[in-house]
Amino acid sequence: MVAGIEAPQLPLSSENYCIVKVAVPVPLRRVFDYLLPENYPITPQPGMRVQIPFGRTTKIGIIDEVESLDHSDLDTQLEKLKPITQILDDSPLITESLISLYRWMGQYYHAPFGEIWQTLLPTALLKGKPAKLSRSSRWTITDIGRESLESGKLAKSAVKQKLILEQLIKNPTGIAHDKIKDFDIPYSSLKNLAGKKWVSRDYITDNDKNIASQVNLPSDIQLNDEQLSAIETVSQHLDRYTAFLLFGVTASGKTEVYLRLIQQVIEQQRQALVLVPEIGLTPQTLRRFEQRFNVSVVTLHSGMSEQQRLQSWLKAKNGEAKIIIGTRSALFAPLKNPGIIIIDEEHDLSFRQQQGFRYSARDVAMVRANLEKIPVLLGSASPSLESLSNVSKGKIKQIELTQKAQNTASLKYRVIDLKNQPMNQGLSADLIKSIKQHLQQKGQVLLFLNRRGYAPVLLCHQCGWSSSCQRCDTHYTYHHQNDYLQCHHCGSSRKAPHQCPQCQCDQMVPVGLGTERLTESIKHLFPDAKTARIDRDTTRRKSAMQDFVSSVKAGEIDILVGTQMLAKGHHFPDVTLVALIDMDGALYSADFRAPEYAAQLITQVSGRAGRADKPGEVLIQTHHAEHSMLHQIIHSGYGEFANSALNERVEAELPPHTFLAMFQAESPQMAHVKYFLADVKQILDRYSNLKVELLGPAPAVYVKKAGKFRYQLFLQTSSRNQLHQLLELTLGDIEKLKSASRVRWRVEIDPVGDS
DNA sequence: AGCACGCCGACT
DNA sequence: GTCGGCGTGCTC
C-alpha cells in the first residue's frame, strides 16, 4: 500500500450529527460522547444498546442521553469524538421508570454507570444478543404415537421413549419444551420419536394461558381476620405508591396474603414482581404459584442459563408474564403493566449484593415502586431494623399478623448456659438428654451450627504449630471427609498434613467444632438414629437440597445437622426440637449488627419446627446466657427485641439512626492502600463544614484476604443529603488521585458486614 | 476494567 | 543481543 492515507474528515456540522452520551462498561463514573449521523435509520434514545469503538477495542454501551450538536455544552473537542459503529436495538430495552431508577441509583450509590447497567440488564443483552423472544413450544403425542404405543410397536429396549409417550398421555395439553428436562427425558429420544411422527412440537405463546376465562384457581384456605384486614389495607393502595411492612409471626399465613393480593393485581391485568431469598427459590415456590393462577409465571435467578433468563426477562417486558418470581436481581425485570412488588423475608441478607456494585434490593425496590406508582410489600417474621425504623419515621405502614394461621402449637424456648458445664463434642448433657427424649417421642431433631467443615483449626499437639492460609492470614478449616484443609475466606485448599511441618511429630489434632464433626459425634451418640448433614459441602449437587428436604419430610431422617442454609424457607412439620449449638460467635462479634442477625436467625430457625399436635422446643447453647437479646426474643418476641435494639443504635449513633458510607481499598501492597485512603481523607477533610464524620482509615476485620490488604474509611452522618453532597464534591478528585491507580477501591453506601 | 506503551532482568 | 516482567496512563 502507498503511504499517505488521509484520515476521513467528518463533516461536523450541526445538521448532520447528533451527540450520543454512552455509558460504557468500565469502572468510571462518567459517560463518553459519540457522534451519530442524524440520518441514521434508528433514532437514538436512552436505554438502547450501541456498539462503539473504545480505546483500541470495541464495546457494547448503553445510550444515556442524546443531544443535538448545536446546543451541547461539550467540554471535549469535537475532533476527539468517534462515531458510533451501530445501534443494536430499535427501541429502548427498558421502560421510562427503569431509566429513572437507573439515574437514581447513579446518584445514590455513586457508582460507575456502566456497572449499574451491568446489574440492570441480563448478561445475554450485555453481550449483544438480540432482545428477541424465542417462541416457546409444547410437545404432544400424535394419534399415530398413541396407537403405536397401544399396539406395542415400541421396542422393549426403548425405555426412555416409552416414558415420554406415557408422560405425554398423562399430560393431554402437552409438555412445554423447556420443561422436558424436569421429566428426565433425553432430547435425543424425543427427536427420535418426532422423526417417526409419534410426537409433535407446537409453537405457542404464554398468552394462550392468560386469556383463559378463569385466571385464579379456587382455594379453600380460610383466612383469619388479621389476614383479611391486611389484604383489605393493601388493596386500597393498589393504584399508588405505598410501602407496607407485613410483620407476621411464623406460620401467620403471609404467603396467603401475597397470593390474594397478586390475584387482585392479575384481575386488573397487571403484573406482580415477587422477590425471594436465594435459597427459598425452589421449584415448589414456582409450582405453588402455578397451581394457584392460570397465568404465565416466570422465574429469574442465577441457576438459570443466560438464554432462559433473557426469555423470562422479555416475557416480563412484553407483559406476557403476569407473575415474576426471582432473587435479588429480578428486581430489575422490566414490567409492562406493573401492579405490585413483594419482597418476602425482607430482612434476608441475600437482598444485598455483596460483589461488584453493592446495592440493597429492598431499598431500591421502594424507590422503584415509587417510580412505578405501585405498592411494595415487605414481609418478614423478623424485620430488619432499617424497615422498622422506616415504620416509625412514617415511610412504611406496618401491618401485623400476630395469630398463627394454622393452629400451630406454641414453642418452648430454653437457653442452656454452658458456663462450667461438662461438654461432649460441643453438646451439653442437657442437650443430649433433650435429643434423646424427642427421638423417643418420634420427633425429628434439627441442629444448627453455622460453621461447616470438621474443625476450624488443625494444630500440632506437641509444638502448637497450626496450619494457616498465607493469602488470608487465617486458619485453614479441616475437612475430614476428603482429608483436606480449606480456607473459608479465599476458598483455597490443600492436602491436610499428617506430620507437623515444624516438629515432624504425628500429633496433628483438629480443634473446635464444625458441622462435619458434629454429625460424626451425633452418629456416635445416637447410633440408631438416621442422621444427615446439610451445608454447602453436602449440597453441591443441584437437586441435593431438594432431596434432603423430601427425605426429612418423609420421615427418613431423625437428626438433621446443618448451617444457616437450613434456616431458610423449609418448614418441617415433624421436627419437635431445634437447637442452636453455638450462639456465642454471634453474641460476641465485632459487627454491631450481630445481635440483630442472631435474633433473626433464632426467629427463623424456630419457624422450621412444630405443628398443632406436636409442640416444639427450641434450645440455645451459649456461654452468654444472660444476654438481653436472648431474654427479649424468648419472653417478649422479636418486636420487643427490635425496639430496644433500635434504642441502642440511637445511643451509639449507628444505623439506621445515622447513615454510613465506606471507602474500601485493597492491594497486595499495604502501603499503597494506606497512602490512598490517607489521600482520600485529606480530600474529604476540605469540606469539614459538612456534617459528616470521618472514622479511620482502619484495617478491615479480616485485613488480608486472597493476598490483598484491605483498609476502610467510614463516613458517618445524620444527614444523607450532606453525605451525598460530600461525595459529589470529592469523588472526581479522588478518582484522579495518583494513589488511586495503585489500588482497587470503591465507595459503598449503607455498607453492611466486612467483606 | 482492558489494553498498550515502556523501561529493566534471564535466556536461545 | 531478544523475550517478557508488570508500573503507568488512557479510553469519547
d(CA A174, CA A701): 56
What pLDDT score was predicted for residue A195? 80
What pLDDT score was predicted for residue A239? 94
Domain match, A419 and A400 both? no
A57 contact to strand B (CB, 7 A limit): yes
Q: Which residue is nearest to nucleotide B3 (CA to C1')?
A: A56
Does pTM top 0.85 for this prediction? Answer: yes
Residues in contact with A642: Cβ distance below 8 Å, sequence separation at least 6, in sequence order: A383, A385, A388, A596, A599
SS3 A444: strand
| Angular region, A117: left φ>0, alpha ψ -120 to 50, beta rest | alpha
In a domain, A466, yes or no: no
Cell, residue A716:
458517618
SS3 A294: coil
| A490-CA/C6-C1' distance, Å | 24
Domain match, A165 and A224 both? yes
Domain match, A164 and A292 both? yes
| A3-CA/B12-C1' distance, Å | 36
| Angular region, A155: left φ>0, alpha ψ -120 to 50, beta rest | beta
- Name the DSSP class of A442: T
- Looking across all nucleic acid strands, the nucleotide with the smallest C1' to CA distance from residue A27 is B1
- Bases in strand B with any atom closer than 7 Å to a protein CB: 1-4
What pLDDT score was predicted for residue A566? 80
Greatest CA separation found in chain A?
A: 94
d(CA A44, CA A63): 8
Domain match, A197 and A212 both? yes
pLDDT in tens, A216-240: 666 677 889 999 999 999 999 999 9
| A54-CA/C2-C1' distance, Å | 32
In a domain, A271, yes or no: yes
Domain match, A420 and A304 both? no
| A705-CA/B12-C1' distance, Å | 40
- CB distance A124 to A134 below 8 Å: no
Cell, residue A10:
467528518
A58 contact to strand C (CB, 7 A limit): no
Could you state, in chain order, the average pLDDT of each consecutive group of 10 residues for chain A (755 residues)?
38 71 92 92 95 94 88 62 94 94 95 93 95 82 79 76 78 76 74 81 65 58 90 96 94 89 95 87 78 92 91 96 95 97 95 92 98 97 97 97 71 89 87 92 91 92 87 88 88 88 90 92 91 87 79 87 83 87 86 93 83 79 91 91 96 95 91 91 93 92 87 95 95 89 92 79
Q: How far is CA A577 from CA A302, A444, A635, in A?
A: 33, 7, 18
Q: Which of A91, A107, A126 is a domain's end point?
A: A126
d(CA A376, CA A346): 11
A55 contact to strand C (CB, 7 A limit): yes
d(CA A513, CA A472): 21
Which H, E and C letters describe A120-159, residue by residue? HCCHHHHCCCCCCCCCEEEEEECHHHHHHHHCCCCCCCCH
Q: Which residue is nearest to nucleotide C7 (CA to C1')?
A: A742
d(CA A50, CA A67): 16
Cell, residue A291:
397451581
Q: Is A589 exposed, middle or buried (0-12, 13-18, 19+ CB in 10 A)?
A: middle
A392 contact to strand C (CB, 7 A limit): no
SS3 A98: helix
Please enumerate, by residue number, every residue of A annotated as part of a binding site: 460, 463, 469, 472, 487, 490, 500, 503
CA nearest neighbour of A247 among A647, A639, A644: A639
End-to-end CA separation in angstroms for chain A: 56
AA letter at A468 = S
Domain match, A313 and A263 both? yes
Q: Which of A405, A434, A462 is a domain's end point?
A: A405
Domain match, A23 and A90 both? yes
Q: Which of A648, A671, A695 is a domain's end point?
A: A648
Residue span of the structural domain in which A28 resides = 16-126
Other CB atoms closer than 10 Å to residue A114's CB: what's the count? 24
Domain match, A399 and A419 both? no
Look up the CATH number of the domain holding residue A37: 3.40.1440.60
